[in-house]
Amino acid sequence: MNQQDQIEIIREIIDAIDNDRAVDSGAVVKNPTSVFRCRDLAAREWQALFRNHPQLVGLSGDLPEPGNYITTNYFGTPILATRDAKGRFRAFVNACRHRGAPLGMELRGKQSRFVCGYHAWTYGNDGKLLGVANEKQFGTGKQSCLNLVELPAQEKYGLLYVHPSPDGEVDIDALVGDMAGELASWELEKTRYLADDLIDSKLNWKLAQDIFGENYHVKALHRDTLNRVAYSDVSTYREFGRNHRFVVPVRYVDTLRERPESEWNLLEASVVVYHLFPNVQFVLVNGAVSLSRIYPDPNDPAHSYTQNTYYRTATASAADGEQLTDEKLYESGGACNMEWGESALEELFDTTAEQEDFWMGTHLQRTADSDALDHFVIGRNEHPVEHFHRNYRSALNLPPLEEFRAG
Ligand code: FES
Ligand SMILES: [Fe+2]
């Protein structure tokens, strides 16, 4: 993000802190609890937002060189995504054309040929069938109609998108809309993979999504963890069509007051959360980014998977090369002038997110499952939550969220 935009946001943050101001959606709304338990709705969203919607499978840093591959199984079609010999990002159904065994067996790896573990047919990472074991006895040659099924795939702004259906389309510019310029400015194509983490939790994927949409809860739920690093209920927010940017100030922002604006850096002042509809969030911190993709379990509305991947970014403003570790994270309000180390990121996601947010989410799910409450209430200061549910309802042709009226 350019320096002037960073300065504007930091000014806005400081003003919000001084005036105790949060984001404001303009209305309190009711969110029916049925959206978290209804099986019919779960079947519809699975088709509309996952089976028939482009999916972000990673960042360019997941496939740094020809021969790298990643696999994923979370949105119905098993995916094998590769970087071929020409450096091109490709995606295939991860299924051998003989009897459907997977070719890429790991979450990620490096190999330019895939030998099927069942009967040893061999494929190139461009999807081409290179060899049929005991070809003569089997009875067919290397027919091109038995190449891996290729899927629409596009790489842009460091994002790797795939469509789960061979007949689908991927248009990253249409997906990111007017967030494109800002996304490009973070140079996500220069990220380097650090680690993976999976949160398998008993809550609806939209409740997991809501965890990333407000910081009203920081002081209460994260009293001894994130609360020591970040402000509660002070934030700035901007919508980009169905996507948004949610900026959560860290306490370190107060040290910037003493420094000239020309030295201000947004990632020393805040954690920046970008949401790409329907199920993606980027949590950008100084020197690193965490990519969270949240997937429903199509057979159980009360179960979801959150796949987190951490990356090093090219844009750290590290103080003397020092790293922010898990131990240093909670000291001095999170010294965000340091580059975030892997242990600090893991601490944030293991303790704050998994043990606190997701843990609480499982209780919300029980309430939703019980049908004891007709609706939850989304406050004016929970604008990103309201934005997501507004888009979700519109994508499924559900009536808009109703305004809450006392009494
Ligand atoms: S399933 Fe792959 S070779 Fe038989
Ligand atoms: Fe939280």
Mean pLDDT of the 321-333 span: 80
User: Is the CB of residue 89 below 6 angstroms from any atom belonging to ligand 1?
Assistant: no
Binding site membership of 99 for ligand 1 (Cβ less than 6 Å):
yes
Residue 142 has pLDDT above 90, yes or no: no
pLDDT (mean) for 218-245: 94
In this structure, what token pair is assigned to residue 15? 């003003």
Q: In this structure, are strands 159-162 and 153-156 parallel, antiparallel, or unpaired?
A: antiparallel
- Model confidence at 181, pLDDT cuts 50, 70, 90, reads very high
Residue 134 in this model has a pLDDT that exceeds 70: yes
Q: Is 52 exposed, middle or buried (0-12, 13-18, 19+ CB in 10 A)?
A: middle
Pair 173, 180: CB distance under 8 Å: yes
- Read off the pLDDT band of 141 (50, 70, 90): confident
- In ligand 1, which atom is closest to the CA atom of 133? 3
What is the pLDDT averaged over residues 110-114? 96
pLDDT, greater one: 125 or 342: 125
How far, in Å, CA of 386 to CA of 239, rounded? 11
The whole-number pLDDT of residue 319 equals: 58
Ligand 1 atom with minimal separation from the 119 CA: 3
> What's the distance, CA 224 to chain centroid?
25
Q: pLDDT value at position 320?
A: 60
Ligand in nearest proximity to the CA of 94: 1
**Per-residue tokens: 25:** 């959606």
pLDDT tens for residues 289-321?
999 999 999 999 999 999 999 999 986 666 567
- Write out the CATH class of domain 3-50+173-403: alpha beta
List the beta bridge partners of residue 246: 237, 273
Please give the pLDDT value at position 318. 61
Lowest mean pLDDT among 4-13, 237-246, 344-353: 344-353
| Residue 228 Cβ < 6 Å to ligand 1 | no
Check pLDDT > 70 for residue 358.
yes
Which fold is adopted by the domain 55-170?
A: Rieske Iron-sulfur Protein (2.102.10)
Averaged confidence pLDDT in the chain:
94
Handedness of CA 239, 244, 250, 252 (dihedral sign): negative
CA distance 228 to 218: 9
Which of 92, 93, 97, 98 most suits a substitution to test ligand 1, by most atoms within 8 Å of the C-beta?
98
* Partner residues linked to 295 by β-bridges: 305
Identify the weakest region by mean pLDDT among 140-144, 203-207, 236-240. Answer: 140-144
Residue 219 φ then ψ, to 5°: -65, -35
Q: Which residues surround ligand 2, an ion (CB under 5 A)?
A: 357
Task: Say if ligand 1 is within 6 A of residue 138 CB.
Answer: no
- The pLDDT value given to residue 368: 98
Instruction: Give 197 Cα–ligand 2 centroid separation in angstroms.
Output: 17
> Tokens for 318?
């590290």
- 120 CA: nearest ligand 1 atom: 3
Q: Is the pLDDT assigned to residue 332 strictly greater than 70?
A: no
In the chain, which residues fall in CATH 2.102.10.10? 55-170
pLDDT at 66 over 80: yes
What pLDDT score was predicted for residue 195? 95
- Percent of the chain surpassing pLDDT 70: 98
Give the residues across from 93 on adjacent strands: 79
Q: Cα angle at 225 between 318 and 304, to 5 degrees?
A: 100
Supply the DSSP string of 172-234, one letter for each residue: HHHHHGGGHHHHHHTTGGG-EEEEEEEEEESS-HHHHHHHTS--TTHHHHTTTTGGGTB-SS-
Total count of residues recorded for the chain? 407
Separation of CA 344 and ligand 1 centre (Å): 43
> Is any atom of ligand 1 closer than 6 Å to the C-beta of 303?
no
pLDDT of 71 > 90? The answer is yes
Residues of the chain with CATH 3.90.380.10: 3-50+173-403
**pLDDT > 80? residue 62:** yes
Average pLDDT, stretch 96-112?
97
Q: Amino acid identity of 207?
A: L
pLDDT beyond 80 at 13 = yes
Which protein residue has the closest C-alpha to ligand 1 atom 3? 119
Q: Compute, in angstroms, the gap from residue 290 CA to the centroid of ligand 2.
A: 15
Ligand 1 pocket member 101 (CB < 6 A): yes
Mutation to probe ligand 1, out of 80, 92, 96 (largest number of atoms < 8 A from CB): 96
